[in-house]
Amino acid sequence: MLSLSPKKLPSADLAPAQLEQGVSPWRDAWHRLKRNKLAVFGGVTLIVLVLACGVGPFFSPYGYEQTNLDNTFAKPNLSHWMGTDQLGRDLFTRLLYGGRISITVGLVATFVALTIGVSYGAVAGFFGGKLDAFMMRVVDILYALPFTIFVIMLMVFFGRNIYLLFVAIGAVEWLTMARIVRGQIMSLKKMEYVEAARSLGFGTQRIIFRHMIPNILGPVIVYTTLTIPGVMMLEAFLSFLGLGVQAPMSSWGVLIKDGAEKMEEYPWLLIFPGTVFSLTLFSLNFLGDGLRDALDVRSAKD
């Protein structure tokens, strides 16, 4: 929506039916988000990072796997902006390629977790009773499954590939989300507006997804912004196990792990990936904060 001026909002002379559609909560939220400087900073940084990782490698004269054993551990210089690693590979290029993996894994796995977790938790919380008990026991059982063993099982059945990474992480991360959402929904379902919606004859689906979920976006978004960095670190761990990112492909997790081992001797190997990773996490957090404030319908009475 590009309507920038709040003055153009619908006014009283419109038909009552139109008035009820009114300002969509999304447009309202977007407007509030834009006024939050930190959130804007976070959003812009993320866009820049995504663009750099997406397009940057096409302009780099080096490949992520291109070794140069005559130029190992080069300090940052004009031809290698972030220096080179143990095999003479350009760190900047590897950082950009690694970003593709890390950002994709972070977003996709979180999206999977979000979709499953919110729907599952909302259904369990809304219906309650035996269905809730059953669904939550399923979650408990999955919780009890050791993650590493689960991953190794997946590896045995499907072989090694990057898509498994999304499945594996997404399949584990939704559990907590489901619990959070369930708790929130249970506390919301006795609210008057739910009663009102029900008395208007709306279906269960509509009540859950149009009326209740927008009301729990706050905690959901906070948890999501915490999930993305967690997922990125998880990816590093899995790559270490041999699932997911295969050498010589890089990811931020892999670069940071490598860099941390050599930080005393060759600090740039840690500083650059670490800085970019932190920047991403900060941006995500600022954006998440801003989104939470913007989407919180209870504080929308300004």
Partner 1 sequence: MIPPLRFSYLFVYFAGILLLSACGPRETAVERGNREQILSRGMGPDLSDLDPALATGTSDYTVLSALFEGLVAEDPVDLHPVPGVATSWDVSPDKLTYTFHLRANARWSSGDPVTARDFLSSWQRVLTPKLAADNASLLYLVQGAEAFNKGLVTDFSKVGFAAPDARTVVITLEHPASYFLSLLQHWVWWPVHTPTLEKSGSLYERGNRWARPETFVGNGPFTLKEWRLGQRIIVEKSATYWDAATVRLSAIHFYPIEDINAEERAFRSGQLHLTEALPLAKIDTYRATQPQLLRIDPYLGTYFYRINITRPFLNARDVRRALALSVDRDLLVKNTLRGGQLPAHAFTPPGTAGYTPQARIETDFAEARRLLAAAGYPDGKGAPVIELLFNTSDNHRVIAEAIQQMWRKELGLDVRLVSMEGKSVLAARRTGDFQIMRSSWIGDYADPLSFLSVWTGDSGNNYTGWSNPDYDLLLHQATRTDDSAAREALLQKAESLLLADAPFIPIYYYTHVFLLQPSVKGWSPTLLDHHPYKHVWLQP
CB-wise, 197 or 226, nearer to partner 1?
A: 226
Least distance (Å) between residue 258 CB and partner 1: 8
CB-wise, 40 or 222, nearer to partner 1?
A: 222
CB-wise, 46 or 87, nearer to partner 1?
A: 87
Q: Is 88 in the site for partner 1 (CB under 8 A)?
A: yes
Q: Which of 71, 70, 72, 92 is nearest to 81 (CA)?
A: 92
Q: Which residues make Cβ contacts (< 8 Å) with residue 156, sequence separation at least 6?
A: none
Q: Is 156 in the site for partner 1 (CB under 8 A)?
A: no
- Whole-number Å distance between alpha carbons of 189 and 202: 14
Render 90-140 in DSSP notation, one character per residue. BHHHHHHHHHHHHHHHHHHHHHHHHHHHHHHHHHHHHH-HHHHHHHHHHHH
CB-wise, 23 or 233, nearer to partner 1?
A: 233
Q: Which residues make Cβ contacts (< 8 Å) with residue 123, sequence separation at least 6?
A: 131, 135, 208
CB-wise, 73 or 209, nearer to partner 1?
A: 73
Helices (H) and strands (E) in the chain, counts: 12, 0
Q: Is 223 in the site for partner 1 (CB under 8 A)?
A: yes
Least distance (Å) between residue 138 CB and partner 1: 21
Beta partners for 90? Answer: 84
Long-range contacts of 61-65 (CB under 8 A, 24+ apart): 62/89, 62/90, 62/93, 63/93, 64/89, 64/93, 64/94, 64/97, 64/98, 64/248, 64/249, 64/250, 65/89, 65/248, 65/249
Q: Candidates 5-13, 41-49, 245-253, 281-289 — which segment interacts with partner 1 by CB under 8 A?
A: 245-253
- Whole-number Å distance between alpha carbons of 34 and 290: 9
Least distance (Å) between residue 273 CB and partner 1: 16
Binding mask 181-220 for partner 1 (x = CB under 8 A): --------------------------------------x-
The footprint of partner 1 on this chain (CB under 8 A) covers a number of residues equal to: 24
CB-wise, 246 or 278, nearer to partner 1?
A: 246
Could you identify the residue written with the tokens 């300004």? 302
Q: Which residues make Cβ contacts (< 8 Å) with residue 6, sequence separation at least 6?
A: 31
Q: Candidates 107-115, 117-125, 188-196, 243-251 — which segment interacts with partner 1 by CB under 8 A?
A: 243-251
Binding mask 55-74 for partner 1 (x = CB under 8 A): ----------xxx-xx-xx-
Q: Which residues make Cβ contacts (< 8 Å) with residue 196, sequence separation at least 6?
A: none
CB-wise, 192 or 265, nearer to partner 1?
A: 265
Q: Which of 133, 221, 219 is nearest to 184 (CA)?
A: 219
Q: Is 262 in the site for partner 1 (CB under 8 A)?
A: yes
Q: Which of 79, 246, 278, 299 is in the footprint of partner 1 by CB under 8 A?
A: 246
Q: Which of 62, 166, 252, 266 is in the footprint of partner 1 by CB under 8 A?
A: 266
Q: Which of 1, 17, 141, 247 is in the footprint of partner 1 by CB under 8 A?
A: 247
Per CB under 8 A, residues contacting partner 1 are 65-67, 69-70, 72-73, 86-88, 160, 180, 219, 223, 226, 242, 246-248, 261-262, 264-266
